[in-house]
Structure 1
């Protein structure tokens, strides 16, 4: 499946870039900004986006990118910090602005660019940076500027490398989705091959192949992550293979465990275990004030109760069951 790879330098809108690309119908994946590019450059990758960052490129501990990124055979788009990173890395200069650019700014074209195809000159972009490109490397030129006369789009003279000094991914930017679509479809040549149904079918197939006839245990909290995982498991596998275990720690809000139980009963699971561990948790926490110590006590006791209950039901051990986990994509980026 054609893919746009996004390298994350800590921007608060990196996930939004990924979502915008998928809304176009193109699959996107997010990886740490300093990751080695080689292992990430699968044959499906049609282009790379370098995200923004709260850092400045001239900071001592500024996030760096693998230099091989500039030698890739696929297009590369830098957004804000990503654009400044490529300029600095290629011998240009980025400096702090006396008057920072935050908020709306109109864009003036210096030349036609396929990145701006379908947009009228003077469209309103969304800025969020205190630094700007002061000097371009000799291999780059400025293709568009802001109403303040600062570079808004810079492009490489020979390679398909370009940088935007504004954020097309945010809703405040006029035509922002069009810009990302132009990059993904026109410049990278990606095909619209991704949608939620395609993803679900692929996930179902992978689950069925991986699990086979084995049992699957999911420790479910009633939150979005684990509940969505439960629904997916029950769609992919026979209900008799799926075991949902909810452990009440006694630390939930008033009546919340009862509400969670009602929700879980509606999922259609054949095996739903509602474990009341409140007395054990509260007894273990009695007299403990340190938050970190409480966290360890809760975690250790949770695992111990899970092991006891699983053993009692014959679903413990790697040879008897798989352990399923629902995790947000953002947590995958942070924790690996």
Structure 2
């Protein structure tokens, strides 16, 4: 069983009666957005690979299933498909199914319909025309009535803007299905078999380019599946505390705390559950923000009463081993290894045997999703610092209470735990820290230079009222790129600093922040005048995708 499946089983052990939707991923780049829409409707859900087994479905106990889009054609030799056993289980349990794009085609393909290449591909905006004369049974099942599908309830117009992204399309629907909406190019843009509670759409309701899409997904979850939409952070918090207590027995939890939103919320949750049996520590890698170790210790000990945070200075080890290393993945692995070694040292100094310790990690759901795909490990974009286990020699179980939450949900949990805004709304900071924001070799000099530039940047964003409008902002140092400049009567040949700021809700996708020019000018002027070694400042205007948020 995968780590994600194990995590789900652990969670479900504490919430057997909770409603849940299973989202099955066929490789779409926006499958995670389906999960966001379902959770926004107040129903818990998880994303799983389409190669999942029947046991994975039955152990999750879904009330309904959503099939995502994907890049394949259903008739391709290598196309992914749900197993026949899962389809039989869906029939047996009468589980409602909502197929999106490839998911609709997969459903029709399996049930005897026909999918073919479209004469005209459809990418981008399209106008969906909702049929108003679809025959349905009345709520009490006694008579036939005509109207629109329950999927479109609450949508005021007959013509709805949607986002299309397909080359293939359904050309013949299976027996029992009917068309409930169409476009000028696609007769079966939305279909249903109301008897079996099967629905399908050729467009993508999960993206913001389909303005009424969230309503459609909510209608499926609440009106078709019949969920009540009662999932909330208060219940999640209590159930996670119960799970932590069940796993604990006579053990302790040790955790490396960075002071970011994820680790702060995770620390507050575990401390609430077990008090002083939680032993937090902070590794000062020398790659933190300016004065970070001191500030974090004071802030967390104030905000989480009774918690004592031990700080371990390991900066010398990190600078030594990163000397001369240029390649990003190699840097990440060195930082990861040294972090584990510092962790081992911290646990040893606590006098706790490894076999009596659980390790707290602040892994989030986007980390899990980006590190896997429906074929298993995805092509590596970058190694996620928070995803993965410990070396075999440590024999320590990992506990990840935030593993199934998106960033905004973690913040909601932080509010539930009583953490202040300064902790809950803080911008993310990566595990490898400044090590992946210094492009090229990492030295103490370059880390000090970047931390000072970054501090000025964040200070000005706060001062000018932009910090809370931005999902993440940071500075990047390019020591391998030298820039010619003039200061006074002297020619300079120094480093380039790049400023990055993005807006995002889930950190899976992000747009660059349109910073006012006068604010940029002030930040640039301060950095160049106050940070020795930088004579040029640039602003990054790339979105994710195709770029990542971090540079390395």
Q: Please, what TM-score do these two structures have when normalized by structure 2?
A: 0.56
Which residue is 2:32 aligned to?
15
- 2:122 paired with 1:100: yes
1:258, distance to aligned residue in structure 2 (A) = 4.3
- Could you tell me which of 298, 304, 309 is aligned with 2:335? 298
Structure 1 counterpart SS, 2:354: coil
- Do the aligned residues in 1 keep the contact of 2:126 with 2:164 (CA within 8 Å)? no
Which residue is 2:20 aligned to?
3
1:236, distance to aligned residue in structure 2 (A) = 1.8
Matched residues in 2 for 1:38 and 1:209: separation?
24
Segments of structure 1 that go 5 or more residues without pairing to the other structure are none
Please give the residue correspondences for 1:13-92 in structure 2 after superposition, counting only pairs within 5 Å.
Answer: 13-42=30-59, 44-71=61-88, 72=90, 73-91=94-112, 92=114
Matched residues in 2 for 1:76 and 1:68: separation?
15
Q: Structure 1 residues 294, 26: closer, same or farther in 2, change over 3 A?
A: closer
Matched residues in 1 for 2:317 and 2:33: separation?
42
Please give the residue correspondences for 1:137-148 in structure 2 after superposition, counting only pairs within 5 Å.
Answer: 137-139=173-175, 140-148=177-185
Q: Structure 1 residues 299, 316: closer, same or farther in 2, change over 3 A?
A: farther
Q: Structure 1 residues 106, 274: closer, same or farther in 2, change over 3 A?
A: same
Which residue is 1:242 aligned to?
278
Q: Structure 1 residues 290, 96: closer, same or farther in 2, change over 3 A?
A: same
Structure 2 counterpart SS, 1:227: helix
- Do the aligned residues in 2 keep the contact of 1:84 with 1:94 (CA within 8 Å)? no
Q: Structure 1 residues 127, 37: closer, same or farther in 2, change over 3 A?
A: farther
Q: Structure 1 residues 201, 235: closer, same or farther in 2, change over 3 A?
A: same
Matched residues in 2 for 1:225 and 1:97: separation?
48
1:158, distance to aligned residue in structure 2 (A) = 5.0
User: Larger relative contact order (C-alpha < 8 A, sep ≥ 6)?
Assistant: 1
Matched residues in 2 for 1:8 and 1:134: separation?
20
Is the deviation greater in 226-235 or in 176-185?
176-185
1:310, distance to aligned residue in structure 2 (A) = 1.2
- 2:349 paired with 1:312: yes
Q: Structure 1 residues 95, 322: closer, same or farther in 2, change over 3 A?
A: same
Is the deviation greater in 294-303 or in 276-285?
294-303
Q: Structure 1 residues 17, 149: closer, same or farther in 2, change over 3 A?
A: closer
Matched residues in 1 for 2:32 and 2:99: separation?
15
Task: Give per-residue Cα distances to partners, 1:170-223, cap 9 Å, x unaligned.
Answer: 334343233222211222122333111111111112212322453210112223
How many residue pairs are counted as aligned between the two chains? 334
- Do the aligned residues in 1 keep the contact of 2:179 with 2:191 (CA within 8 Å)? yes
Is the deviation greater in 35-44 or in 246-255?
35-44
- Do the aligned residues in 2 keep the contact of 1:153 with 1:162 (CA within 8 Å)? yes
Matched residues in 1 for 2:325 and 2:154: separation?
62
Is the deviation greater in 265-274 or in 253-262?
253-262
Task: Give per-residue Cα distances to partners, 1:258-297, cap 9 Å, x unaligned.
Answer: 4444443334253311111111111122233344433333
Which residue is 2:163 aligned to?
127
Task: Give per-residue Cα distances to partners, 1:236-259, cap 9 Å, x unaligned.
Answer: 222x11111111212234444444
- Do the aligned residues in 1 keep the contact of 2:121 with 2:167 (CA within 8 Å)? no
> RMSD in angstroms over aligned alpha carbons?
2.5
Which residue is 1:214 aligned to?
251
Task: Give per-residue Cα distances to partners, 1:14-67, cap 9 Å, x unaligned.
Answer: 222222222222221221122123432348421100012244434554332223
Segments of structure 2 that go 5 or more residues without pairing to the other structure are 1-17, 135-147, 373-387, 389-552
Is the deviation greater in 67-76 or in 225-234?
67-76
- Do the aligned residues in 2 keep the contact of 1:87 with 1:94 (CA within 8 Å)? no
Is the deviation greater in 253-262 or in 264-273?
253-262
Is the deviation greater in 125-134 or in 323-332?
125-134
Structure 1 counterpart SS, 2:309: strand
Is the deviation greater in 16-25 or in 91-100?
91-100
- 2:348 paired with 1:331: no
Matched residues in 1 for 2:329 and 2:206: separation?
38
